[in-house]
A and B are shown apart, each in its own frame.
Chain A
Amino acid sequence: MKESVVSAKKPIKTVIGPIHPALKEPIKFIFEIDGEKVIKVDLAPGHNHRGLEWMATRRNAVQTLYVSERICGICSISHSIAYCRAIEQAADIEVPVRADYLRTIFAEMERIHSHLLWAGVAALELGFDTLFYKAWEVREDLMDLLEYLTGNRVNYGVLQIGGVRRDITPDQHARINKSLLNYTILFDELYDMFLEDTVLRMRCRDTGVLTPEDALKLCTVGPVIRASGIATDVRQDFPYCAYGDLDIKAITPEALAGEVHGDVFDRIIVRLLEVKQSIEIIQQSMKKMPIGPLTNFPKLMVLLNHIKQAEGEGIGRHEAPRGEVFHYIRLAANQESPLVWKVKASTYSNAMSWVKMLEGEQIADIPIIVASVDPCISCTDRVAMVDKGRTSIFTQDDLRRLSRKKTERIRQGLK
């Protein structure tokens, strides 16, 4: 009896993940838990490392473009923009201005759909099911719009090195404008439901805090660093595509709340306001977009030959929905495949910030804090509790149940 009392005080090691292989960012978390509190966090990513960078060195540049689209099921435009721009710099390829604008429009549509997907998932984790359905309803319409413009709901296949493959014709503008108007109306609803809700605010305020100092030191990117109050955004800082022509300001929570907490709630604010910003960028781009060719290399063989002869290196960056993606390419003369292709996705940079956010928080807050970085939520797919050699499996549903119970407790307390 006495012995079990002593051992109960020892921290329990909890493993979350490695996650479902079908999901894009598999990561394993190892938590040390004392009662309800998380003491220590350790990460082990790489459970789905597919060796794409290695594959690229055995394929030609156009084949690799389609590999780059498949790095992530959601940021497929983001990775192909970064990849194309790296190759374009290395091989010194000029992109027509109209193609720059089309890339911007597609990228912003992707951002809206990614942020809405995230909003839905966050709502689900917290137990706000109506909000989840609302957010995904809007997202569904946006995916239809992307299908209407590119032919695909995911992996759009619309970019090509040196330009884009499909134009937005004047007769398509009406359909786009109609959808954008719808999103503006629905955005206002989402805004009220997310930001005016007392329970949601109590649940997310000062949960999973990341200070601006830590955010900088850990090389954090995207909405996560902006929610910590640092106004950095590749679209604003490092002009590319059509973003240099547009007036873009990095969104920080100060814009709404007047103060920065760097918590989950601030990350919600930043992502929601970015949806609105993306709608405006699409509208501006459609107005400013000049008439012109879509690519300077209409023939693929000419393009491939040009890249084969080129020698050089280039970097491509893009502000993906989750933050900066970065590609580095080096080409050697008379070689079809690149010497090196290095890809850095957003969660690669953001993973380390989880440790700071999670330490000292409750188990019930793990799902929403992990989700607040916007990785793949199924990091919480399978959890094993290890206690004195006994292992019990803790499923995603169990964790979500804990998270929802906490929300319910707050709601009851308010009555």
Chain B
Amino acid sequence: MVGLLLDCLTTSALLFLVTVGLLIIFGMMRIINFAHGAFITVGAYSSVVAGQYGLSPWLTLILGPLAAGAIGAIAEPLVLRRLYGRQLDTILATWGLALIITQLVTLKFGRGTQPVDSIDLGTVTVLGTPYSSYRLAVIPLVLVLSIAILLILRRTRYGLVGRAVIMDDDLAQTLGVNVKRVRFTSFVLGSAIAGLAGAVLVPMSSVDPNLGLPWLINAFLISLLVGVSTTALAFASLALGSAQVLVGLSFNSVSATLAIPVLAVVLLRLRAHGFVRG
């Protein structure tokens, strides 16, 4: 029972983590970033590079966001800046970007799964149930991250300007806001958070060029449900993550992987606004 509860919480935390970067980019830029999965992969591969230089696996948590953020900083002016306001084209462009990044990773490191030294925290016994300490550690990490994002959006000038851009980018521009810069910053921030998610996934998954892909699909569906609200994302992650775990328990893992897509579609049908109020 305790294990089940912890599974729900940790699965939800992971969902939040892989989705929030996508959400920032969607909110600020109206771009559904299909390269999000590739940025997750890049973040995970920072552990491979760290290993090659004999660095501690903990450093991956910094290197991952840095690497993915850097690639985002190159990609935004090169690819996306020309395509704002053309939503269908940006989907195509970011998907192309994903293919390019994935192929570059494959060329550099090969197709196979990579040997990596990953963070090993062992297990901890929670109310008599042994559980992976690392999975548990993801929960506070996500809490800190989400509070940081909320503070940036609510309490900083970037957040204020950013919210102005979300509400009406044309009006913001006429008021003298440098929309270009806001978009650049958002894309880099979103990419970096994807990189962080990738780095966090390393101790739980196989590091290979397709690592990010299955996460992208769930992240995409959830972001459709929550629009641009981080708070709504927290609720949606908790609800859908728990649903996935519970379906897995009562039926089997095959149906559990269907839980999020099916629920997301049903919710959108019944309530087009998803988890957003109004």
Bind each other: no
Residues on A close to B: CB < 8 A? Answer: none
Residues on B close to A: CB < 8 A? Answer: none
